[in-house]
Structure 1
Amino acid sequence: VFIVTTAALPWMTGTAVNPLLRAAYLTLRNAARCPHQDCDGTNNSSNAITNKTNTNTTVTLVIPWLESAADRVLLYGDAWKHATTAVQETFIREWLVTRASLTSQQAHSVVIVFYPARYHHGLSSIFAMGDFCERLTVPDDAVCLLEEPEHINCYRAPGKTSWRKKFAHVVGIIHTNYKAYASHHYSGLLTGPLVGVLSSWCVRAYCDKVIKLSPVLQTYAAEKETVCNVHGIRDEFLHTPAPTGPKIYFLGKLLWAKGLDKMLRLQYAYRKATGSYFAMDVFGSGPEEKEIRKAFLGEALEDDDFLGRQDHGTISTDYKIMVNPSITEVLCTSTAEAVAMSKFVILPTHPSNVFFEQFPNCLFYETPADFCRVLQHATSHNPEPLTPECRDVLSWSAATTRLLEAGQVSERDAA
């Protein structure tokens, strides 16, 4: 199995973290099925991504290597200026041990392959340099998981080999609502539809099966699509102590498209209803941080309320309520992490949040007045402890099972 993605640690973004954990848990599942690595290769369709292939193989994670030192410094920090692929690989494996609760042996079971890439500042994205699909050496029955196939292939260099010719079966996993982000641009009336069409072309051309994380996403190839959350949550979140304090927070990249414009309107609505803004801390950084700070400072928030980027798992138990007004997400990892930590999460009623409707600590609103009511309820009550059933749904083990089921094709389609 080859998992190809568009970002890598130490950039703490969803397309770096989730594919890495997916690779790790697929490797663990294979090891559990073949503890002595002596499986006979017999295909078990109940655990296979496709009836054409068998998952008892090495899991290879294919990730970008930023060739430019300036790119590495911009995304990873000054310490990465003279780094090598070996340094980055070591960092990734150590992170699997320290933050994902894997043993050193398990962390080294995932094969890591780099492809040359550059960071595009204007698009805040990493793109491959050249046709790296052609460079991969794969067995005839290999399965490929393309994380963000529309991103991987949008600037793809011309080559002799396509993903569907190279691999026996290609599953595309759609992480990001690029059409929605493009629509927020000043030229959104034009760029939004164009991005939608381009994304559909790329997904249809290079994928045999398409998994959308939530129903908020556009149609790419209706006959190939299924909607399923195939992401999980690290064990450390599931074992975090319950909140003990009353604090409210937002965590995410500091972009207006992440719902911070809506957050400002919710603050105004709350002041109108109660006479004061609600106190809140903001965790995160991003290219629009200065503009966002300027909009909030002296009004709803003060400078000390912006606390910078921080791993969600290290946030104090003083925080009880997370507010996430974004409607451009596909399925927000930060929201799932907050649910796992038994916090209240206040969300707009929206297709991107359907998955979270099953959790009692997720509180939904449709209007600013609803939001004020829901926030007052959360401040005066304690969240419910996470049940074993909810804990299981959020786990990477359950997410891996959902992936294997969602990625299958019928015998008829596989023929």
Structure 2
Amino acid sequence: MTDKIDDILSSWNAGRNVLLYGPPATGKTRLISGLFDALNNPPESQRGILLDVSDAEMPFSRPAQEIKIPQPIKVVWTTFHQSYGYEDFVLGLRPEITSKGTCLQPWAGVFLDAALELTDPESEYKSVVIFIDEINRGNAARIFGEFMTFLDFDYRDDGSVPLPLPLRQLSYEDGKSEEIRRPGGKTTKIPEGFTFPKHIYIVSTMNSVDRAAVPIDSALARRFDRIEMRPNLDVLVNHWGLEKTAITTPTEDNWEDLTPFETGYLLLDRLNVAIASDLGPEFELGHGLLTPVLATKTTDSGTKEPVEEKAAWRSLAKTWDDVLFPQLEDRYSGRPEQLMDLLHVDTAPSVGDYAWNLRTAKGGTVQSRTLAPVRVSELDIDVIKRSFRWLTR
């Protein structure tokens, strides 16, 4: 995760905003949460080496991650959604009752308020970082409006071509705008020809598989550096304490000996290779979907001990029922044959019961090519083991 934070900081230093994209459960929100902490408490960097000749035992160490944007930093978090608009993010007009009647009062949205914060002489902040979660859940081009221009640092204060803010909704008198309401009860006026401050940085996230989302406008997308977040099996290796080199390819001779954690690792690997080949890598399953399966538990005394193997298999089966299989159903909606092929329905083990079967009618007269509904976690433990181990092949 630290190297990804380095990439984000490098993009900011180069005057670029950042878009994290990839399938769900690949750590996007966790990464920006880590970035949030790093802005206040920089972690150890993955680049550079410090030498301390006075420390004979550990003379070499890593420096703290360098945060080059001006501090102190104000952090703002927002989430785009289908009813989120320009009025929430840039500038809205709200009715207000006064002694002279009802009037429309300007209110600063998240983006404009960040600009006003940095030009407020009473503010302690030198930079503002805006975290936008699910940027493609709303109509991002409409939300940014003409302020899309100011995603480009060249058009901001100190840029190569600084441009004045195009706030035509405001009325001006004597070179000053009417009062603008801000969060927290503050009000401000901006001068004509006001330019957008330089030190406002954006990092956003986007799920690549979200079919309900609005595609990112190309003019908006090119104003972001894209950082791909992909499923990472090494996270599961660390999460379960596996020895990666000891995980073997399942064969006819060893598939029945796989542990629940080796099975989970190999299962996700096989499913993602199949999904990437069939639908594209953006539809793969994130490693975070399997992190609810735990290899250790905390005892009443506060110590950690390995979970029982049976409990681990049950946990894997429950995670499959509640999380993994619904994701597969969504990806293979309208393509039942491909899903059944993925589950080895027609090539089940020759001996013993198997979790996934075709649905049959009691009368036996109906030919079906439909999966029989099943809660794998409610099956006998031997069936759970056999089914998931077979699914790794």
Alignment TM-score, normalising by the size of structure 2: 0.32
Alignment TM-score, normalising by the size of structure 1: 0.31
**Greater percentage in helix:** 1
